[in-house]
Amino acid sequence: MKWDGNRESENVEDRRSDNGGGGGGPVFGGRNIGIGTIVVALLGGWALGINPLTILGLLSGGGAPVAQQSAPAHSTPANDQMARFVRTVLADTEDVWTGIFRQNGSQYQDPKLVLFSRVQPTACGTGQAAMGPFYCPADQKVYIDLSFYDQLKNQLGAPGEFAQAYVIAHEVGHHVQNLLGISGKVDQIRGRVSKVEYNRLSVKLELQADCLAGVWAHHAQAARQILEQGDVESAMNAAAKIGDDALQRAQTGQVVPDSFTHGSSAQRQRWFMTGLQGGSVKACDTFSAASL
């Protein structure tokens, strides 16, 4: 992926020297949730997932997570290659989405991206590295512990810089959904439908974020020729590795479609390619699609 030398975003908060309050599990609703519980509960959703803090809130038996004040951000060393990569990809998403929103007569609001280690207070509750990357709509920030990229490569078998960029673009896709009011409408339905039906809505939300990640890649390629040989295959491989069916098969040897919250490997690949090939936000309407 061609990225070195491109503009870097100023909307990255580097909090990696903060320990977030110690090495214990995060506390929700007055109870401490062990790391084992987190991993089991979120294994199907920690990679490129819908906000996992909602799941943790349910596990704790409490209501919505309590907003917490973040510590001051620290400067990033100039030789930190991965942080530079994140800043550059985020800047590229800013450029693309600013242009798309402007073409449609509206103004894009840049999200912030927080680099953290281990645990981090957020407006949605306490985030932890075990969750993987996530987006918090309450503070409009994307949170990433960069150790996730090692897990993506070594544990999930999805190496490559473009696969890493896909992670960021997917979470920014959730930010776009938030700005458009899509994720808010889905969340409002939560208490009025069955768990199975809400899972289906969650799948549509996630697949749309995959498609929006593809829209970013389409326009970034057209404007800056960022793609190199093997990049698309890298992203498609990542989409396959984090499909619900692939994760469930790896965990239990069984696949339960009614429990899907993100979509199958084939669905995630299909919707990313829909965005990548056409670059159309309208084509990402997973909620009106006859089939996923």
Q: What is the pLDDT along the chain (292 residues), one digit of tens a residue?
A: 999 999 999 999 999 975 443 333 333 333 333 333 333 334 444 444 444 434 333 333 333 444 444 444 555 555 589 999 999 999 999 999 999 999 999 999 999 999 999 999 999 999 988 888 999 999 999 999 999 999 999 988 999 999 999 999 999 999 999 999 999 999 999 889 999 999 999 999 999 999 999 999 999 999 999 999 999 999 999 999 999 999 999 889 999 999 999 999 999 999 999 999 999 999 999 999 999 9
* CA pair distance 269, 240, nearest whole angstrom: 7
How many alpha carbons fall within 13 Å on the CB side of residue 97? 25
Calculate the alpha carbon distances from 253 to 60, 226, 243 in Å: 28, 38, 14
Query: Considering only CA atoms, which of 109, 116, 113 is closest in space to residue 131?
Result: 116
**What's the whole-model pTM score?**
0.82
